[in-house]
A and B are shown apart, each in its own frame.
Chain A
Amino acid sequence: MRRFRNSPAVTAFYWLFVGLSIAVCIVLLRQHLPQYLPHDWVNAHEGDALADWKAARLYPLDVSPYKPTGLAMVGAPMGHPPTTVFWYLPMVDFAKPLAAELTSLILWFLIIPHIYMCAKVLKWPAPMAWTALLTSLIFSTSWFRYHFDVIQFSELIAFWYLLAWLFLRSGRDSLAGICIGLAATIKFFPGAMILMLVVARRWRAVFWAGATFTLIAVMMTSAFGIESWREYAELQKPIVDVWYGSGQSSSISGLLNQIRSPFCESGHNPAHTSTPTLASITAALLFISALWASRRELKRARLEHGVSIDLPFALFALLSVFSNAWVWEHYYVLAIQPLFVVTTEFVRLARLAYRRWSDMETSNFKFVFQALGLVLVCAALSLVVLALSRHTWSPFWYIDVWKATQSPKFHAFAHFDLALKVVPWVVSITLCFVALRATRKFTPGS
């Protein structure tokens, strides 16, 4: 039974958890922070976000970074659309080390409110302790260090997703729409969230998402010219040729590529092997299933209960990433909010199942069946934790070891390690579907 004040035993466990979380946080930060700071910002990686910073420096000159002259000045392939450059406009006058440091540190620190808000909003006990624990665990992963080293935008996109979710929950659709629109200006895949907003009939959110994106697109087009969009599209071909088949990519297409042409045969970055059509069909099927599975929750969120948006939002957030042409390891920050939602939902369902059994409303047999389901969910979440804790490059190292030793043990392990890259997406999406179904079964009114 829920109580207004916890018993001394529960309070003792609470403080034990808080103490342990802080201790783990201190130990992990001591061990891993030196990997982040001090950092050589002068020689910071220029291939990702800093390419957009260089492009932003061309904005006042009205030079398009997608034309040969602009490309030469940027000195790196422009893989991001003209709207991404918008985010660097406040930093055009900064020197490279300052721009790099500011971007990295802002994105670095965003992870803290990101985790805190998830824990707080979903009413996890001791949200500060969870924030300390999870932040330090994330800091200790190799994929987050990769996010920091290459200077990427994933955490910023994840933060806009988070705000959009919070606004949708509280019925502030216009603000939610603006957040989705802003996220879509960084990379295109957040645009897929509009599909959910349309089906949910959150028209104001749809309008503001479109308006925000259009406003920024017009602003950037006014300087770079309308042809910059065509030039951007043309520039994607060589990038796609290099990266679409990458073993590192854990998108739907990445998964299909690995099935068709395993990385142990084709190497790290083979020319793309699977037809994008198959990936598109799979993505479309997943989106249709998601719309079907979440239709009631979306309606309920609009008409009665704002928090019913949690699971559909989590599912669509995951699908928007997973259906992208490629998904790199630093995109895992986008799985944080969905994993929080899914875990919260399963804890709620487990409590509900236990309460029903304890009140003699369900038989022992049915309860054991439900408990087994819960054990499976725990196993799946443990697999996600294992996947997130593996080193980014480990599968590729193991392939080298296999080539050197020809030991089948290393060959199998390399494939297992690479398969783990897809696990956070596949497992979270599956759990969202299962949670949506289970929620409907447990709460017939929903």
Chain B
Amino acid sequence: MREFFTLRSEERRARQLSDFDRTEIRGEIERAVDTMREAEQAGVSFVRARLARQAATQVIIAVAAAQQLASDPRREEWPNLEQAIVELSSLPGWNSQRPALALLPGSDTLTDAEFRLLADLFAYVERLVDLRSPRDFWVARWTRRVGLLLLVLGGSWFALKPPNLARGKMVTSSSICGDMPDADRGLSRLSRVVDGVRRENSHAVCTHAEKKPWITVDLGAPHSLSKIVVYPQSDGAWSNTDEPLQLRVSLDNEHFEVVGERAELFTPDFPWSLELPRTRAQYVQLLGVRRTAQKLILNEIEVYGR
């Protein structure tokens, strides 16, 4: 675990190569990768075979050179293919690559199975050498540490933030208007007002124009409420929301207590957010209180608490 965050032993191994050698070998391997990718895409089979052999040879020599330079930094000559194979033959897993090595000297075309063998050899060999620089290790170390910290902080925030108690709960209303959109998966149409979507294409629910229209959310059980947020429709000048509205709460759906009143406009970007002083309730109701007929058109009602 400690090694995961410090990467000390990996870095010690990688530091056996000088910066110059590392850059040179990396360049060679990246050229080999390009050649191998070209081979993968080559349509003509003899071109594919030639490119695949060339790439595999290139990568074996480069990796063997890296091994030799790690043990003897003053070495100047790179090995040839035979020397490179000998150099790498003591590594774990090398024996399983022998069928692919047998394909290297030929010049005839490769079947798909043979090409896959060479590609597997290529992928195996290029992983034998670690070409990360000290700065790469520094970045890797801190990425892991900061990543873990963010994961812990994000997880804590997610676990501790007050949940939206209204999400997915039962909703009733005084009426349902004609142009109300359908709900997903056969849910009640009114459930759209507690589906977590604050920005609808137009609106989630609406009532007919009537006196004292209401929409009530049943939280399922009594809760200690701390905040209620109401998001109006997103497709208009919000003329409906400038009308007097009341937010009421109740424990039995019969005796309601008014916790907030609003006559000013609010919008999806500036919703009606009402902080509550530790209020216990099971039902939250939005009520239109104009003396003449009015309509409720909403996107979402959120209720926070424990």
A residues whose Cβ falls under 8 Å from a Cβ of B: 1-5, 30-32, 34-35, 142, 145, 357-360, 391, 393, 397-398, 400-401, 404-405, 409-410, 413
Contact = CB atoms under 8 A, between A and B. Distances in A.
B197 A31 contact: yes
13 contacts: A1-B29, A1-B131, A4-B33, A31-B201, A34-B181, A145-B201, A358-B132, A359-B23, A360-B133, A391-B235, A397-B238, A401-B237, A410-B265
Given A4-B126, A397-B237, A410-B267, 16 more contacts: A1-B29, A3-B33, A3-B123, A4-B123, A32-B201, A35-B201, A358-B132, A358-B133, A358-B139, A360-B19, A391-B234, A400-B237, A401-B267, A405-B242, A405-B265, A410-B265
A5 B238 contact: no
A399 to B, nearest CB: 9
Contacts of A2: 30, 33
A357 B133 CA distance: 10
Contacts of B22: 359
A4 B51 CA distance: 14
B242 A4 contact: no
Contacts of A393: 235
B126 to A, nearest CB: 6
What is the interface residue range for chain B against chain A? 35 or more
Interface of B: 19, 22-23, 26, 29-30, 33, 36-37, 119, 122-123, 126-127, 131-133, 135-136, 139, 181-182, 184, 197, 201, 234-238, 242, 264-265, 267, 269-270
A360 B184 CA distance: 56
Given A30-B184, A34-B181, A3 B197 contact: no
A98 B115 CA distance: 52
Given A32-B201, A401-B237, A358 B135 contact: yes
A4 B237 CA distance: 56
Contact of B30 (A1, A31, A32, A357): A1
Contacts of A4: 33, 36-37, 119, 122-123, 126
A401 B234 contact: no
B265 A359 contact: no
Given A5-B123, A397-B237, A413-B269, A357 B182 contact: no
Contacts of A3: 33, 123, 126-127
A291 B160 CA distance: 56
A358 B136 contact: yes
Contacts of A34: 181-182
A390 to B, nearest CB: 10
A386 to B, nearest CB: 12
A316 to B, nearest CB: 31
**Nearest 10 A-B pairs (CB), nearest first?**
A5-B123, A400-B237, A358-B135, A397-B237, A358-B133, A4-B33, A35-B201, A4-B36, A358-B136, A401-B265
A157 to B, nearest CB: 26
Contacts of A357: 135
A5 B59 CA distance: 13
A385 to B, nearest CB: 14
B196 to A, nearest CB: 11
Contacts of B127: 3
Contacts of B235: 391, 393
Contacts of B19: 359-360
A360 B137 CA distance: 13
A32 B197 CA distance: 12
Contacts of B122: 4
